[in-house]
Amino acid sequence: MADNSIPGPMSMVKVDGSKIKHLREGQGLTQLYLATAVQVTTDTISRWENKRYPSIKKENGIKLAEALNVQLEDLLEENEVEEPLPLPRLAPSAIDLALTTDNKKSRIRNIWPFIILSLTLFCILAAFAWYFLYSSPDLPITAERNAPDHCIAGQPFPVMIKITRAPEDRQTAIIIRENLPANATVVKISPEAVSGGMKKDTISWLKKINESATFAYVIRVAGGKDDKVTFSGTAAISGDSDSPPPIGGSSKTTIDKYHWADVDMDNIISDSEILAVHDRYNQIEGIDVDIDAIEEIWLGSGYKWNETTKKIEIIE
């Protein structure tokens, strides 16, 4: 195959937009998925597919090929046949200009009914699309966040996002963006966030899942008693629009003096509470909820939070 690289200070390649679009749609992937994988915008993916940007950086071409599970050569443009230069046009006469103007006015008058009909059809289709996307109760996936109702300022606590979808024969790509609360510090993330997806206030995951998957992280937050810690995020799969649905479930945690595992806030970790911690969090790979410390509280007669030392004291 001929080398389609463009010489210069930046290595470029010529890609065939129709090939990109064919491969993406054939695998059920969205432009949002490719944009996240290559770390560009969805507008850039659209321009590539529509051949408005035929030449792209080679490094972006390699990332694009990896996201589509093909070789870079499979996306390159075939050798183009050089077209003959057009013949020079003679300057139009005054009569030609007059005729052209009359023809344009006539075409504009004739095209108005078509424009009105097209706008009407567009509005009808947009209304149907809105109904099926936002009014239908049958969503392709469900995304539920589980965060404790309360926590102690400066002490780590876990947040879990459970994804479920209808059974299918193949994996589905999913993008999760979780906006971290203000004054939060990340301790652990599972599974690992996408490269460059961990920012100061956002965690981004890009994974392929089967029927269900769990994403989790452990954070510490700063604040005073009764302050509210707020969570928000979105989850999108292949075929979703560029406005993915929000994650449901828990959205707030209150800062207090009780351990997050002490659900009824009675300064005791009961049998049911320690079992709930084991069942819910202990099987998440890479997430450490300090189960040993929680078991020590459970084995004791109770606990209390020492505001001076900023430590939990176990009552024997």
- 209-221: per-residue pLDDT in tens? 887 889 999 999 9
- The pLDDT of residue 169 is 66
How does the average pLDDT of the chain come out, rounded? 81
- Give yes or no: residues 168 and 195 share one domain: yes
* Per-residue pLDDT at 89 exceeds 80: no
- The pLDDT of residue 135 is 44
Q: Is residue 89 part of a domain?
A: no
Mean pLDDT of 182-195: 86
- Give yes or no: residues 65 and 125 share one domain: no
Q: Is residue 34 part of a domain?
A: yes
- Give yes or no: residues 35 and 123 share one domain: no
- Give yes or no: residues 121 and 190 share one domain: no
Dihedral of CA atoms 46, 52, 53, 55 in degrees, nearest 10, equals: 130
Comparing 41-45, 94-98, 189-193, 222-226, which segment has the lowest mean pLDDT?
Answer: 94-98
- The pLDDT of residue 296 is 92
- Give yes or no: residues 198 and 126 share one domain: no
Q: Is residue 81 part of a domain?
A: no
pLDDT digits (tens, 9 = 90+) for 266-306: 999 999 999 999 888 876 777 878 888 899 999 999 999 99
Q: Is residue 278 part of a domain?
A: yes
Q: What percent of the chain has pLDDT over 70?
A: 78
- Give yes or no: residues 126 and 60 share one domain: no
Peptide bond into 84 cis (omega under 30): no
Q: Is residue 259 part of a domain?
A: yes
- The pLDDT-based confidence of 104 (bands split at 50, 70, 90) is low
- The pLDDT of residue 93 is 53
User: Among 96, 146, 93, 157, which residue's Cα sits nearest to residue 294?
Assistant: 157
- Give yes or no: residues 37 and 120 share one domain: no
User: How many CA within 13 A on the CB side of residue 61?
Assistant: 25
Q: Is residue 104 part of a domain?
A: no
The 8-class DSSP code of residue 79 comes to P
- What's the total number of domains in the chain? 3
Comparing 13-17, 27-31, 209-213, which segment has the lowest mean pLDDT?
Answer: 209-213
Q: Is residue 132 part of a domain?
A: yes
- The pLDDT-based confidence of 137 (bands split at 50, 70, 90) is very low
* Per-residue pLDDT at 82 exceeds 60: no
- The pLDDT of residue 147 is 94
Mean pLDDT of 6-32: 81
Range of the domain at 37: 5-75
Q: Which segment, 28-32, 80-84, 270-274, is predicted with the most confidence on average?
A: 270-274
Mean pLDDT of 152-173: 85
* Per-residue pLDDT at 7 exceeds 80: no
Q: Is residue 91 part of a domain?
A: no
- Give yes or no: residues 306 and 179 share one domain: yes
Tell me how far apart the alpha carbons of residues 117 and 199 are, in angstroms, rounded to a whole number.
Answer: 47
- The pLDDT of residue 273 is 93
**Better-scored residue on pLDDT, 146 or 31:** 146
- The pLDDT-based confidence of 3 (bands split at 50, 70, 90) is low
- The pLDDT of residue 86 is 47
Beta strands in the chain (DSSP E): 5-6, 12-14, 55-57, 141-146, 150-152, 157-165, 172-179, 184-190, 202-209, 212-221, 228-230, 232-237, 248-249, 252-256, 302-306, 311-315
pTM given for the model: 0.57
- CATH number for 253: 2.60.40.10
* Per-residue pLDDT at 108 exceeds 70: no
- CATH number for 9: 1.10.260.40
- Give yes or no: residues 186 and 292 share one domain: yes
Q: Contacts for 97-103 with beta carbons within 8 Å, 24 or more apart?
A: none
- Give yes or no: residues 119 and 186 share one domain: no
- Give yes or no: residues 26 and 146 share one domain: no
Mean pLDDT of 189-195: 84
- Give yes or no: residues 211 and 295 share one domain: yes
- The pLDDT of residue 170 is 73
What tokens were used for 301? 């007669």
